[in-house]
Amino acid sequence: MKRLLALLATAASTVGLTVLAGPPAQAAAGCTVQYTITSQWEGGFQAGVKITNLGDPVSGWKLDFTMPDAGQKVVQGWNATWSQSGSKVTAGGVDWNRTLSTGASADLGFVGSFTGSNPAPTSFALNGVTCTGSVTDPPTDPPATGTPTAVNGQLHVCGVHLCNQYDRPVQLRGMSTHGIQWFGSCYNDASLDALAKDWKADLLRVAMYVQEDGYETDPAGFTGRVNSLVDMAEARGMYAVIDFHTLTPGDPNYNLDRAKTFFSSVAARNAQKKNVIYEIANEPNGVSWAAVKSYAEQVIPVIRAADPDAVVIVGTRGWSSLGVSDGANESEVVNNPVNATNIMYAFHFYAASHKDTYRAAVSRAASQLPLFVSEFGTVSATGGGAVDRSSSIAWLDLLDRLKIGYANWTYSDADEGSAAFKPGTCAGTDYSSSGVLTESGALLKSRISTADSFPTS
């Protein structure tokens, strides 16, 4: 129930929202509608609309709903006739789905554009009968056998490791998105297929910036976009790290209220899924460990209330360097850990900038703290410059040896050395050939695509 209320409170932000109507007497009428933003990019999006008829059979139907934001427009739809007048959208049944027996569904969808925010519509009417009522969890798709999530199931922290459903340590290897507010077009079915099948990645980190035109400008739209990427990773058997990408300002407490709102929503919505890991603050900087710990101890309970068993990653001081970039070290965390269980601490590095001192800190800390490298680059800390091959390889060898999971910055075509794809790649459809990879992308693909050896007993 708590979950339902949380979802209702953020209904406008929820994708995969299902609305139920109780059938009146006489001709039974009622419906559920599930509206899912399946992908979103700058100014555009794709939505799936699933109608289920709960009433008497119909031999023709019209679905009406209102776009919440004046700038939202249907551009082109499928599996229905689509029209829009002002903010009112009407979809009508076509030959192959005009007849809906009781319990039958029709799947339609459209490509849309938007100018301001892109919230999901909250109310739908089928043949004039409003579909209102309770909100239920979105369906969870069982992952294909043999995929990382199918083999490992729900993860948990065991000692200093991340463990799978057999309580055995696993190392997850994958990629981080770039800021989804800028590179949304890079995350689509083709690119995620390539990540799962060609790269054989175990995880996708979803970097949702909070500032820099990110979450704070459109909480509902970004929440929906993150949820849809969680679903896309789940469908391919990959874990999804939901990264609340705080960066500037460096004090995560600046975003404490936003974090509580965001995580209560995504944790409720994704509670039944086994593929979600929550990363509550990307890179605290210019702030004490005590302040970061205080933030964590306020945000983690919000997640636990909705999704009790998920692993949470806590950022560390000095841009998630365990304090090293601020002249401290891991002892400040070891001596004053976050008061919570089933958590890991983030360590981030950029191979051309962070070398032996940082590797020494990780080597020491790894026997005392559960660590997760939720972001690293092969280049300098600016995200640009040349790939430092020898430092990158030294780091990756160390992480493999210590069984520390990682996500590389970035699975994108940004015009900077850290991007895995050459500029322009995301405007096309090829994410698989070697010709689209940068030097960094080729190095990471070669490391990530080697066989996993996940223990199964």
Interface residue list for ligand IDC (CB under 6 A): 212, 247, 282-283, 319, 348, 350, 375, 381-383, 409, 414, 416, 418
β-pairing verdict for 124-126 and 129-131 = antiparallel
β-pairing verdict for 44-53 and 73-78 = unpaired
Closer to ligand IDC by Cβ: residue 109 or 441: 441
CB of 23 to ligand IDC, least distance (A): 50
- Cβ-based neighbour number of residue 261 at 10 Å: 18
Which segments of 119-272 are extended strands (E)?
124-126, 129-131, 156-158, 161-163, 173-176, 203-209, 239-245
Closer to ligand IDC by Cβ: residue 110 or 347: 347
Contact residues for 359 (Cβ-Cβ < 8 A; gap 6+): 394, 395, 398
User: Residue 346: in which H helix or E strand, if any?
Assistant: strand 343-350
Q: Which of 84, 90, 92, 88 is nearest to 58 (CA)?
A: 92
CB of 212 to ligand IDC, least distance (A): 5
CB of 357 to ligand IDC, least distance (A): 16
- Cβ-based neighbour number of residue 214 at 10 Å: 21
- Out of 234, 279, 330, 375, which one is annotated catalytic? 375
- Out of 283, 330, 332, 416, which one is annotated catalytic? 283
CB of 20 to ligand IDC, least distance (A): 41
Query: Does residue 416 carry a catalytic annotation?
Result: no
* Rg for the chain, CA atoms, rounded: 23
What is the rounded distance in angstroms from the CA atom of residue 225 to the CA atom of residue 13? 10
Closer to ligand IDC by Cβ: residue 378 or 418: 418
Q: Which of 66, 20, 3, 76 is nearest to 44 (CA)?
A: 76
Q: Are 216 and 115 in contact (CB under 8 A)?
A: no
Closer to ligand IDC by Cβ: residue 196 or 208: 208
CB of 412 to ligand IDC, least distance (A): 9
CB of 39 to ligand IDC, least distance (A): 21
Closer to ligand IDC by Cβ: residue 265 or 380: 380
CB of 337 to ligand IDC, least distance (A): 23
Q: Are 204 and 180 in contact (CB under 8 A)?
A: no
How is residue 444 written in tokens?
Answer: 């990471």
Burial of 262 (0-12, 13-18, 19+ CB in 10 A): buried
Contact residues for 354 (Cβ-Cβ < 8 A; gap 6+): 321, 324, 325, 381
* Start-to-end C-alpha separation, the chain: 35
φ/ψ of 108, rounded to 5, equals -125, 180
Closer to ligand IDC by Cβ: residue 15 or 324: 324
Contact residues for 113 (Cβ-Cβ < 8 A; gap 6+): 43, 44, 45, 71, 72, 73, 75
CB of 192 to ligand IDC, least distance (A): 20
By beta carbon distance, the residue nearest ligand IDC is: 383
Catalytic residues: 283, 375
